[in-house]
Structure 1
Amino acid sequence: MPARIKDLVVDAADHQALADWWCAALGYERRRPLGHPPPPAEWAVAIHHPQDAGPVIWFSPVPGPEAGRNRVRFDVWGDTGDLLSLGATLVRRHDRDAGWDVLADPEGNEFGVFAPGFRTPGGGTTR
């Protein structure tokens, strides 16, 4: 049986703030345990799509910023301007070699932004 993604986990120096930023960027919400009090602030934060249309993403606290390049990154459908207005920073604009923008979230984690209707190298439209 092939493996399936259960959750995504992102290490973060300020896991609370980064979880909130990605909620705003993706339209996600914090996942609250039903019938239980809110977890302590130092615990990892889980966010999810309100209609469960995407994976659960956990933001786990770590003592400092990551050194080197991310080993896992998000690629999102979206509008670069909207994400920049939420506090992302532009790393690289799309060009002839790559048809997507690269941004960084508030902790410097890079992610790709694909405009709706992005055309694959074979000419097909995705999304």
Structure 2
Amino acid sequence: MATRLVQINMKARNDSALGRFWAEALGWGVDSEGPGVTNLEPVGFAYPDPAAVCVDIIARPEPKTVKNRVHLDLATTSPAHQAELITRLRELGATLADVGQGDVPWTVLADPEGNEFCVLEPRPVYQDTGPIAAVVVDCVAPREMARFWGRATDWTVHEVTDEHATLRSAQGVGPYLEFLRGPDTKSGWNRVHLDVRPYPGDDLKTEEARLRALGATDTGIDRSSISWTVLADPEGNEFCLLAPR
């Protein structure tokens, strides 16, 4: 048994407005499964598919107060493309952000609700990922995170060091999942988190038990009104286990 990383869940005070920003940023389509929920995926996409990790934006009233532990890195194909993309994103409402990055070849921006993301310089490794190069998670121990997420999902571990770890879907398509070592510890619940799904025919309760045996823990969130399971990885980052599909 295994799960698949199928989408990123992002909280927003105005889900539809933030959805429009990210749809324009990624060149994706916009849909909604109900009030307060905006779904983003590539046009013509058959969900779920490892070729893309989709984005669900969920309305929540709380404002963003700390740096997100999960963010997106956007891919570019040339220095000109990087410059053009940064200009276009700023015209859409993104602003420059300082997270202590110093003098680096990528640019750190924040979306209209303050969520940090990076526009990377062109890198050969990301030339076939689509607009999202990587989903990046700040952490204390990349090796431990690679161990957990490499077993929790069927994604392949590509590189592991004390400073970072990299995974990608077993099919070798779509964005990477990366864990970067940083000095900050988790504070409060994550406004951006990962959503995973088991494969069709798998049993949800069995998969939950397997994830717990690997090191996932309970978050204490009331599950009486939801159909999915909310767990936390070994560093306390919340993630949702959705129904098999």
Length-normalised TM-score, structure 1: 0.74
Amino acid at match of 1:9: V
Amino acid at match of 1:10: V
Q: State yes or no: 1:16 paired with 2:136.
A: no
Structure 1 regions of 5+ residues with no counterpart? 33-38, 117-126
Structure 2 regions of 5+ residues with no counterpart? 1-23, 27-130, 199-206
Amino acid at match of 2:214: L
Q: State yes or no: 1:58 paired with 2:178.
A: yes
Structure-1 residue corresponding to 2:133: 6
Structure-2 residue corresponding to 1:101: 229
**Offset of residue 42 of structure 1:** 3.5
Q: Which one is further off, 5-14 or 85-94?
A: 85-94
CA distance 1:20–1:54, shift in 2 (3 Å): farther
Question: Residues 40-119 of structure 1 correspond to what in structure 2 (within 5 A)?
Answer: 41-78=161-198, 79-91=207-219, 92=221, 94-95=223-224, 97-116=225-244
Please identify which structure carries the higher helix content. Answer: 2
CA distance in structure 2 between the partners assigned to 1:31 and 1:98 by the alignment:
35
Amino acid at match of 1:19: A
Q: Which of these two proteins has the greater Rg computed from alpha carbons?
A: 2
Please identify which structure carries the higher strand content. Answer: 2
Structure-2 residue corresponding to 1:122: none
CA distance in structure 2 between the partners assigned to 1:53 and 1:100 by the alignment:
26
CA distance in structure 2 between the partners assigned to 1:30 and 1:89 by the alignment:
22
Amino acid at match of 1:100: W
Length-normalised TM-score, structure 2: 0.41
Q: Percent sequence identity over matched residues?
A: 34
Secondary structure, counterpart of 1:83 in structure 2: helix
CA distance in structure 1 between the partners assigned to 2:170 and 2:196 by the alignment:
17
Contact 1:93 1:102 in 2 (8 A): no
Q: State yes or no: 1:31 paired with 2:179.
A: no
